[in-house]
Chain A
């Protein structure tokens, strides 16, 4: 067993946000930097008082996992704890027989007198910020997060804290997301035009997160939709545990190619420049990612359309998320860490850059894992 939950544990009803009142008042200036509650070690974000690791990139005994993306959920730990909506994916990726305990959002548990709870991060299904409280001190490790409500993952919930560990994947002022509805309209319009000219629309993005978001928001579909194996597997996995997603047929070598004319094809980015994609001729390619905000990034991929759709916070949202925590100290992990930490410091928010393995080759690693599964 991972931990023993306190007998008087507070079980929430639906597991979604706003169930536990977020501790609104945090004592300021209680940070004990001689013995920090969370430490950055060569293998994880570590809580010495509870002897527990958050998102370790090396095998450890006990790990709390913020979300099921492969750069945060690594193979080989003895015991895992995560939000219940991460379970099906974690078992798919790390092994059906891993020792995994799940909790609801807002459900409190204690280890060695350290109080933990998970709160929605809005990044992907099951993604959580980890709230850690000990002796009046509150730290939050947010993993990856976004503030936009994507219609599938539980929406981000601000958590007051003394120290906040933030990502900075898009920590430059050039990254500002358009409204999700506008992007979905652009995608629908692109699909419509391709349908008119008899082309297949190959829409690419991360299989975990982006694809469910697209499926949810492009409904009702205006034509036939098919899925690549990676997208299909995750969609079915999530459907099997009761998530409200439609069935999307799998593309096999026997699928009648005539059906692809005018259809929407959902696939991971790794299919680009492979022979798999040729069966859809004639086709147009679209790629969904925050990186698409910059023309160079789009052109480098040699795709027809880039759709600016990200599961990370943009520049403005990073700023408002951090401000809402009220944290006195901010640790900046993966992304534009040095730049973003400097910006915060110049604005009078004490911040430090932290080297982690998160976000490294996120995309490549992500797609490889999916291809294997």
Chain B
């Protein structure tokens, strides 16, 4: 635990990528194997299911620290992290502990599964009395909450690939999928060529950057494919050994959430891996992301939901064919095989091909781009015809070219402190538009300002608070911001009657007074125009 805590501490101290990689390398070269697998699990977001409720952890911590609940909430408001708050309020450790490895702590925690609340409490309190403040923080992180420490999976992949002399692609492939640190060994996962159940493993997605400058800079139009950019869930469908697996880009296995696609089993050739978009589809065109959202997160997909929000997979790439990794083939070659697969499958209702857009000049594409929303698309994807399928976010071969966001000028009305890096600053804002002489909130947004602007807005908020409701401050209506969003829908859940998608601050309109902000009428006009 000390070694892992030290790694955590050191990673936390640097924001330089190379130093982080070096720290990871030295940890993975020196830590015991049984700890490494747990460290990997934590770095790749595979924390084991929690055995203890956060509310219990909180309750015991309050008891030990001798402070009331409201004071704990205030403290949490300033820290922005539950595990850290608990570690800070606890008294100094009083017992000397014998060092336990990370694996031993996890096995201790796993044993709590069947323990009574009293036993759980004893275990946790004993740990708190024995560990140092920072170890308590890491321990609490293992107990509850997410484990984000500024180390991306890419960095971990890089570190492991450097110490094992493998390519990052191989390592990231091995790290994917649903392995369990309790039953997997580090050796098996990282070193073995073909260990265990390989069938479910997805390939790393190729992610694109937004296009910089104009499309004219991309060179000759005939070197490029253009497709609509769909607004759904980027996913990978794997058909191997007679089974189908659907992965989301967040590396979540979502096979069960899309039963209508299970039919693909009977229509795909063995050893096929497809890249594409899951969207809901009406009679002739895609439905908005809102419709898809109604079924995400549901445990029970009722017949009604399946009827109202029918899912379709729009395929746009092929990574594996006949059990062979074809990611190094050219885009146009992969596309050709993909077209055959989709056509041969013959189940257009749920399995469609993402159409290529016919264009000769960039100008044609520019004209069409303006109408992307009419086609229920977010813009275009441009793919070089000779590009291989890369992994991770890479520049050059794929570009996304999104439509300009819809935007509206709105007034800052509520503010709340951020979390993590921004825990002491008011960075989470609610914006409102005018409905006659009243301001109606319609969106929350928290990104898009520079640190300097955040500082200024924070300064304003602290001096112009009208009321406080818990962590939320009502702010004097004075600051106007241009709010951008990707989509707009009618909503019965919001007071304004409108829900916007991906709202964000485009800029601070210091040139506008409150009275010049937009109205609910303006928003409703956008709604009828685009929905």
Binding site for B on A (CB under 8 A): 172-176, 291, 293-300, 302, 304-305, 336, 339, 342-343, 346, 360-361
Instruction: State A315–B79 Cα separation when bound (angstroms).
Output: 15
Chain B residues, Cβ within 8 Å of A339: 71, 74
Instruction: State A172–B79 Cα separation when bound (angstroms).
Output: 10
Q: Which among A296, A336, A360 is the interface contact of B74 at CB below 8 angstroms?
A: A336
Q: Once the chains bind, are B424 and A173 in contact (CB under 8 Å)?
A: no
Closest Cβ of chain B: how far from A94's Cβ, in Å?
24
Q: Once the chains bind, are B15 and A300 in contact (CB under 8 Å)?
A: no
Chain A residues, Cβ within 8 Å of B81: 295-296
Closest Cβ of chain A: how far from B450's Cβ, in Å?
12
Q: Once the chains bind, are B459 and A361 in contact (CB under 8 Å)?
A: yes
Within 8 A of A (CB), among B77-113: 78-81, 84-85, 88-89
**Category for how many chain B residues contact A:** 20 to 34
Instruction: State A361–B455 Cα separation when bound (angstroms).
Output: 10
Closest Cβ of chain B: how far from A302's Cβ, in Å?
6
Surface stretch bound by A, among B179-187, B399-407, B415-423? B415-423
Chain A residues, Cβ within 8 Å of B15: 302, 304
A291-B424, A294-B84, A299-B150 known; 5 new pairs, CB 8 Å cut-off, are A172-B75, A173-B71, A173-B88, A174-B89, A299-B12
Q: Once the chains bind, are A300 and B422 in contact (CB under 8 Å)?
A: yes
Instruction: State A332–B424 Cα separation when bound (angstroms).
Output: 20
Q: Once the chains bind, are A173 and B75 in contact (CB under 8 Å)?
A: yes
Chain A residues, Cβ within 8 Å of B74: 172, 336, 339
Interface bits B50-67 vs A (CB < 8 Å: 1, else 0): 000000000000000101
Q: Once the chains bind, are B423 and A294 in contact (CB under 8 Å)?
A: yes
Q: Once the chains bind, are B78 and A299 in contact (CB under 8 Å)?
A: no
Chain A residues, Cβ within 8 Å of B89: 173-174
Instruction: State A342–B423 Cα separation when bound (angstroms).
Output: 22
Within 8 A of A (CB), among B423-459: 423-425, 459
Instruction: State A6–B391 Cα separation when bound (angstroms).
Output: 83
Q: Once the chains bind, are A296 and B420 in contact (CB under 8 Å)?
A: yes
The answer to the question of B13 belonging to the interface, with a C-beta cut-off of 8 Å to chain A, is yes
Q: Once the chains bind, are B421 and A173 in contact (CB under 8 Å)?
A: no
The answer to the question of B14 belonging to the interface, with a C-beta cut-off of 8 Å to chain A, is yes
Closest Cβ of chain B: how far from A273's Cβ, in Å?
9
The answer to the question of B470 belonging to the interface, with a C-beta cut-off of 8 Å to chain A, is no
Closest Cβ of chain A: how far from B23's Cβ, in Å?
13
Closest Cβ of chain A: how far from B458's Cβ, in Å?
10
Cβ-closest chain B residue relative to A291 = B424
Closest Cβ of chain B: how far from A305's Cβ, in Å?
6
Residue with the greatest number of chain A CB neighbours at <10 A, chosen from B80, B85, B88, B424: B88
Q: Once the chains bind, are B65 and A296 in contact (CB under 8 Å)?
A: no
Instruction: State A176–B421 Cα separation when bound (angstroms).
Output: 20
Chain A residues, Cβ within 8 Å of B297: none
Cβ-closest chain B residue relative to A343 = B71
Closest Cβ of chain A: how far from B92's Cβ, in Å?
8
Q: Once the chains bind, are B424 and A300 in contact (CB under 8 Å)?
A: yes
Instruction: State A240–B68 Cα separation when bound (angstroms).
Output: 50
Chain A residues, Cβ within 8 Å of B14: 304
Q: List 24 A-B contacts (CB under 8 A).
A: A172-B75, A173-B67, A173-B75, A173-B89, A174-B85, A175-B88, A294-B78, A294-B79, A294-B84, A294-B88, A296-B80, A296-B420, A296-B421, A296-B422, A297-B424, A298-B12, A299-B12, A299-B420, A299-B421, A304-B14, A304-B15, A305-B13, A336-B74, A339-B74
Chain A residues, Cβ within 8 Å of B67: 173
Q: Once the chains bind, are B423 and A297 in contact (CB under 8 Å)?
A: yes
Instruction: State A346–B74 Cα separation when bound (angstroms).
Output: 15
Instruction: State A173–B91 Cα separation when bound (angstroms).
Output: 10
Instruction: State A173–B68 Cα separation when bound (angstroms).
Output: 11
Q: Once the chains bind, are A174 and B13 in contact (CB under 8 Å)?
A: no
Chain A residues, Cβ within 8 Å of B419: 296
Residue with the greatest number of chain B CB neighbours at <10 A, chosen from A172, A297, A304: A172
Chain B residues, Cβ within 8 Å of A297: 423-424
Within 8 A of A (CB), among B12-47: 12-15
Closest Cβ of chain A: how far from B87's Cβ, in Å?
9
Cβ-closest chain B residue relative to A306 = B13
Q: Which among B75, B150, B420 is the interface contact of A174 at CB below 8 angstroms?
A: B75
Q: Once the chains bind, are B459 and A174 in contact (CB under 8 Å)?
A: no
Instruction: State A313–B81 Cα separation when bound (angstroms).
Output: 23
Chain B residues, Cβ within 8 Å of A175: 88
Interface bits B451-479 vs A (CB < 8 Å: 1, else 0): 00000000100100000000000000000
Chain B residues, Cβ within 8 Å of A302: 15
Closest Cβ of chain A: how far from B82's Cβ, in Å?
12
Chain A residues, Cβ within 8 Å of B68: 346
Chain A residues, Cβ within 8 Å of B65: 173
Residue with the greatest number of chain B CB neighbours at <10 A, chosen from A175, A176, A291, A295: A295
Closest Cβ of chain A: how far from B420's Cβ, in Å?
5
Q: Once the chains bind, are B422 and A174 in contact (CB under 8 Å)?
A: no
Chain A residues, Cβ within 8 Å of B88: 173-176, 293-294
Q: Once the chains bind, are A296 and B71 in contact (CB under 8 Å)?
A: no
Closest Cβ of chain A: how far from B60's Cβ, in Å?
15
Q: Which among B13, B75, B422, B423 is the interface contact of A304 at CB below 8 angstroms?
A: B13
Instruction: State A61–B88 Cα separation when bound (angstroms).
Output: 45
Q: Once the chains bind, are A295 and B84 in contact (CB under 8 Å)?
A: yes
Chain B residues, Cβ within 8 Å of A304: 13-15
Cβ-closest chain B residue relative to A339 = B74
Cβ-closest chain A residue relative to B137 = A295
Instruction: State A297–B150 Cα separation when bound (angstroms).
Output: 15
Instruction: State A161–B313 Cα separation when bound (angstroms).
Output: 75
Closest Cβ of chain B: how far from A81's Cβ, in Å?
30
Instruction: State A304–B459 Cα separation when bound (angstroms).
Output: 26
Cβ-closest chain A residue relative to B76 = A174
5 closest Cβ contacts across the A-B interface? A296-B423, A174-B88, A300-B421, A299-B421, A174-B75
Closest Cβ of chain A: how far from B442's Cβ, in Å?
29
Chain A residues, Cβ within 8 Å of B13: 304-305
Instruction: State A299–B85 Cα separation when bound (angstroms).
Output: 16
Chain A residues, Cβ within 8 Å of B424: 291, 294, 296-297, 300
